[in-house]
Amino acid sequence: MRLFFIRSFLAATLTLLFLNAVVPVFAASDKAAISVDEYWNLVDHSFQVVSGLKGHSALEIRIGLGQLADQWDAVTQVRMNDGQVVPVDNSYLLGSLRADQPDLARLEGILNTLQTAHKVFPSSVFSTADLGSLKQILLLPEFQWNVPSNPFFDWIMQQWDRFAKWLDGILGNRTITLPGVGLSPLAVIATLVLVLVLVYVFRSLFADLINEAKLNGGGEGGDELLTSDVAFERAQTLSQGGDYRSAVRFLYLSSLLLLDERGLLRYDRSRTNHEYLRSVSGSPELSEPLQEVIEVFDNVWYGYHELDEDSFKHYSDRVEELKERKQ
């Protein structure tokens, strides 16, 4: 159980540390946004290019429109005059620019509509009649998408929205977009690193819990059916296979079972190591080596410290010393 809390604390700590590293990257992604003036300049420039391509060869038209498409493809966010960053979707315009048989008149009409909107906004106040025209426009085939619902993707989006709201509560009103939509590659990488680290931590956490449950179960009837000699032999077998962590545990059990068999303490899995030490505190010749045995066990089993062959041999010798102590 103590290992569970250690791992849980580690997971929470890593989460906070990586959030501190990722958050500035999310905020920095706003730098990729172009200003609203740059956006309208690109609209005017595109209109001039499309108008100038009339009468040119098909190859020249494709090259010219391809260059425009590359410029529009780089525009994912626009920073308004008040500092607000607005994501933009240019897929409709890009589809027309990169069409196999581009329609220059249609492209000219799209860009001219954008120019007109720029001229009348925000001086013009939209009325109910304007909204009626908007409904007719939205009924056009190019604005119809019949995308089947994906439960897994919907769940991911819900989790992302919760994360964004939680992060917004910490940072204040900052725009955070989903990776792939106006987010810098560095932010995507940082997010993936965070996910991988958390997966690793929680995987290790549950793996340790499973291993500890198996060892606590004894696999051969439980600790209560072990003897000090059997536990010692199992420790030696595990150490030969390189599993020093599990081997240390059985040496630790061997020490407690030995003292229990000699009537020097009562072995009970519900008792703490502090209680074991206190029960033999009146015999320094027993309490001192037992304390070292317990400290090494705690460091290796709960602290997850690495143990090599020489260190294990030293630990095993300390357990042997306990065997030689009669009282």
Q: pLDDT tens for residues 97-140?
A: 998 888 999 899 889 888 888 887 665 556 666 677 777 777 77
| Nearest-angstrom CA–CA distance, 131 and 46 | 28
Strands 85-87 and 34-35, by their bridges, are unpaired
Confidence of residue 306 (pLDDT cuts 50, 70, 90): confident
Report the pLDDT value the prediction gives residue 17, as an integer from 0 to 100. 47
Report the pLDDT value the prediction gives residue 8, as an integer from 0 to 100. 53
Q: Using alpha carbons only, what angle is made at residue 162 by residues 156 and 164, rounded to the nearest 5 degrees?
A: 100
pLDDT of 197 over the 60 cut: yes
Which domains occur in the chain, in start order? 1-30+157-213 (no CATH), 33-146 (no CATH), 218-324 (1.20.120)
Mean pLDDT, the chain, integer = 75
pLDDT of 263 over the 60 cut: yes
Report the pLDDT value the prediction gives residue 211, as an integer from 0 to 100. 52
Strands 34-35 and 77-79, by their bridges, are parallel
pLDDT of 20 over the 60 cut: no
pLDDT of 188 over the 60 cut: no
Rounded to an integer, the average pLDDT of 204-233 is 60
Confidence of residue 81 (pLDDT cuts 50, 70, 90): confident
DSSP 3-state assignment of 77? strand
Confidence of residue 167 (pLDDT cuts 50, 70, 90): low
Report the pLDDT value the prediction gives residue 7, as an integer from 0 to 100. 52
Report the pLDDT value the prediction gives residue 1, as an integer from 0 to 100. 42
| Nearest-angstrom CA–CA distance, 75 and 242 | 57
For residues 136 and 176, the model is more confident at 136
Q: Are 247 and 241 in contact (CB under 8 A)?
A: no
Please tell me whether the peptide bond between 122 and the residue prior to it is cis, using omega within 30 degrees of 0: yes
Among residues 312, 304, 297, 321, which one has the least CA distance to residue 237?
A: 312
| Nearest-angstrom CA–CA distance, 25 and 146 | 34
- Point out the least confidently predicted range of 43-57, 145-159, 262-276, 298-312: 145-159
Report the pLDDT value the prediction gives residue 228, as an integer from 0 to 100. 85
Rounded to an integer, the average pLDDT of 143-161 is 74
> DSSP strand E in the chain: where?
34-35, 77-79, 85-87
